[in-house]
């Protein structure tokens, strides 16, 4: 993945911003597809990081031009995009969970890291979509994270 260079400017050139979004969206989708197709748990943190970097820049551009361009509902576009990413993250977490069939002793450090980062990103996305901290889905994710933390400590103690 190439580094994304951002320029800090007071004024936003609508055409330039839209052009950058048009370049970044396919790269974001490609990074999301690579995350979805992950075969090794060690690859999840890097691939998830790539998705987050692309999304961070796209989201910033949406925010900058959202006020300028009233014909496009950037908030709806953002929510739809994040819901797609959430679906991929759910699939990745299910793949991790099914691999070990609930037995913490089978989990490697890479699996714990992949699970933790995936769940953290899922919780962050739910927050960005508008789910409150006490929403049942976010509470469930945090409970799973806490349970994983306890399981990890137990398996490390063995």
Taking the model in full, what pTM does it have? 0.78
> Where do we find the tokens 């936003």?
12
Domain boundaries, the chain: 14-157
> Where do we find the tokens 């819901």?
83
pLDDT at 77: 83
Note the pLDDT tens digit of each residue in 61-94. Answer: 888 887 666 666 778 888 889 999 999 999 999 9
Residue 23 pLDDT grade (very low, low, confident, very high; cuts 50, 70, 90): very high
Round to whole Å and give the CA distance between 158 and 151: 11
> Where do we find the tokens 């691999």?
99
Question: Concatenated DSSP letters for 117-142?
Answer: HHHHHHHHHHHHHT--TTSHHHHHHH
């Amino acid at each position: 993945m190439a580094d994304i260079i951002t320029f800090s400017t007071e004024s936003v050139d609508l055409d330039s911003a839209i052009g950058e979004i048009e370049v970044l969206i396919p790269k974001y989708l490609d990074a999301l597809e690579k995350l979805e197709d992950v075969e090794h748990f060690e690859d999840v943190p890097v691939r998830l990081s790539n998705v987050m970097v692309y999304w961070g820049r796209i989201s910033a551009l949406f925010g900058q031009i959202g006020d300028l361009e009233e014909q496009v509902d950037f908030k709806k576009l953002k929510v739809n995009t994040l819901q797609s990413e959430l679906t991929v993250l759910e699939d990745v977490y299910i793949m991790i969970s099914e691999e070990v069939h609930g037995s913490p002793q089978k989990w490697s450090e890479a699996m714990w890291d992949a699970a933790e980062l995936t769940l953290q990103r899922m919780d962050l996305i739910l927050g960005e979509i508008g789910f409150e901290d006490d929403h049942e889905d976010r509470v469930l994710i945090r409970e799973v994270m806490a349970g994983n933390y306890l399981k990890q400590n137990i398996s490390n103690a063995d």
